[in-house]
A = this chain, B = another copy of it.
């Protein structure tokens, strides 16, 4: 298979079907713009599985995604898209960079969800940007960003509602969007503890990549616990 793209956590391969790619999830873990590197046991398989569950759920709720189905144990089939180089973050509770930036205690509940845009550029450290920057850099059309922001806020409501009965609080998450051949904006990338913060609703325990970032231990167990709750009927 021909490798089209290799990122920090995934590889994207061409397939024989036109417009269809295979996304292979790696066990590699990075943090702090790649300055911290490591590996999380079984992460590729776990994140492929969790992403599949989330994308299937969201598709069923009317969110257009790149997801087409599962393939191997750590692979998804997806529509080939051109990734928009703007990461869309939605936050319900202050944590991580937001807590630091605004001087808020981690865990402060935000009265309303906060949506942020980040330039997807490792060398620049994925800086926070706004819609004027998106225009100045020619990253996306206004209508594309309107759509991406609308979808991101809808995804927040849908995922929060899905996770609550499973004992998980959705603190924040990062989405990436892409354009397919017809120019339609689709939710792309992955949805997993690499890209979301999940806290146990009862104990507040971190069940996401912060365990890796902050050397809290039990990283793979936390990922497995999230998957276990998602698979609960």
Contact = CB atoms under 8 A, between A and B. Distances in A.
B102 A133 contact: yes
A102 B124 contact: yes
B103 A132 contact: no
Contacts of A116: 130, 132
| Residue from A112, A136, A138 having most chain B Cβ neighbours under 10 A | A136
Contacts of A2: none
A128 interface: yes
A127 B104 CA distance: 13
Interface string A126-149: 011110110111100000000000
A215 interface: no
A102 B86 CA distance: 13
Nearest to A97: B127
A53 B30 CA distance: 53
A221 interface: no
A137 B99 CA distance: 12
A103 B128 contact: no
Contacts of A114: 132-133, 135-136
A112 B124 contact: no
A101 interface: yes
Given A116-B130, A128-B128, A130-B116, A102 B137 contact: yes
Given A110-B136, A136-B110, A102 B115 contact: no
A169 to B, nearest CB: 17
A144 to B, nearest CB: 17
A127 B112 contact: no
Nearest to A138: B111
A202 interface: no
A129 B133 CA distance: 13
21 contacts: A101-B124, A101-B127, A102-B127, A102-B129, A102-B133, A102-B137, A103-B123, A110-B136, A111-B138, A112-B135, A113-B132, A114-B132, A114-B133, A114-B135, A114-B136, A115-B132, A116-B130, A116-B132, A117-B130, A128-B130, A130-B130
Closest 3 CB pairs of A and B: A114-B132, A101-B127, A110-B136
